[in-house]
Amino acid sequence: MRYHKIANETIRRLPIYLRGMLFLSEQNRKTISSQNLADIVGINSWQIRKDFSYFGDFGKPGVGYIVEKLIRHIKKILKLDKEHKTALIGVGNLGRALLAYPGFGPYGFNIVAAFDNDPAKIGKKIENINVEDVSRLPALSKRKVDLAIIAVPRDAAQEVADVLVEAGVKGILKFSPHHIEVPKKIKVISIDIATDLARLPYYMSA
């Protein structure tokens, strides 16, 4: 089954729905109405119904959405129905925080390798991951890693990305808003904490 032309904004919301459904699944909930899902994820129920209409309707009248079925479907659409071996480049403060972060597992992300250029870190074990010399990055191509998280200083990001692309990585997550050049087939997502923080004051009472 293939899904075509799903809007980027819908794809952005699907992981949020998935997170809500995983939460419900943990609580052994079997079904949920779009209104209840809306309350949990903080997105309007009409928006949820519209998003789901892109790829068929998962709801049953009077019953709502079936939690496990919806989880399976969303994971399939997002290609999260298999493990994604992930490499982390840069084991500074941010990198260490990421290695310790327990939230990747439910989505099938498995950080299997970590790299740094600091001799003091290379060879150390952090959160059960052996820190390797960044000069060994090209060998990633033999290890079926398709995702990478770049947590290096801004000026090193482009160079690291070049090597990652060469090593066969297909998706990159980075933490600086600065543009990096990659071939078109490589997807890059940036998390920019300042941009998220920047919408907070709008909602704050005077």
Query: By the criterion CB under 8 A, which residues form the site for a copy of itself?
Result: 9, 11-12, 14-16, 18-19, 77-80, 84, 92-94, 96-98, 100-101, 103-104, 106-107, 109, 146-147, 149, 170-173, 176-177, 185, 187, 189, 191-205
Q: Which residues contact 53 (CB under 8 A, 6 or more apart)?
A: none
CB nearer to a copy of itself: give 101 or 124.
101
Cβ 147 to a copy of itself, closest distance in Å?
6
Cβ 81 to a copy of itself, closest distance in Å?
9
Report which residue type is found at 111.
I
- Between vectors from CA 79 to CA 156 and to CA 140, what angle results, nearest 5°? 40
CB nearer to a copy of itself: give 85 or 137.
85
CB nearer to a copy of itself: give 56 or 103.
103
Q: Which two tokens stand for residue 95?
A: 């990198």
**Could you give the C-alpha distances from 86 to 113, 128, 145, 148, in angstroms and in order?**
7, 15, 6, 5
Residue 8 — φ and ψ, nearest 5°?
A: -55, -35
E strand segments, the chain: 31-32, 59-60, 64-66, 84-89, 109-116, 125-126, 129-133, 147-150, 171-174, 187-190
CB nearer to a copy of itself: give 30 or 187.
187
CB nearer to a copy of itself: give 120 or 194.
194
Q: Which residues contact 129 (CB under 8 A, 6 or more apart)?
A: 88, 99, 111, 112, 113, 114
Cβ 177 to a copy of itself, closest distance in Å?
6
CB nearer to a copy of itself: give 81 or 135.
81
Cβ 103 to a copy of itself, closest distance in Å?
4
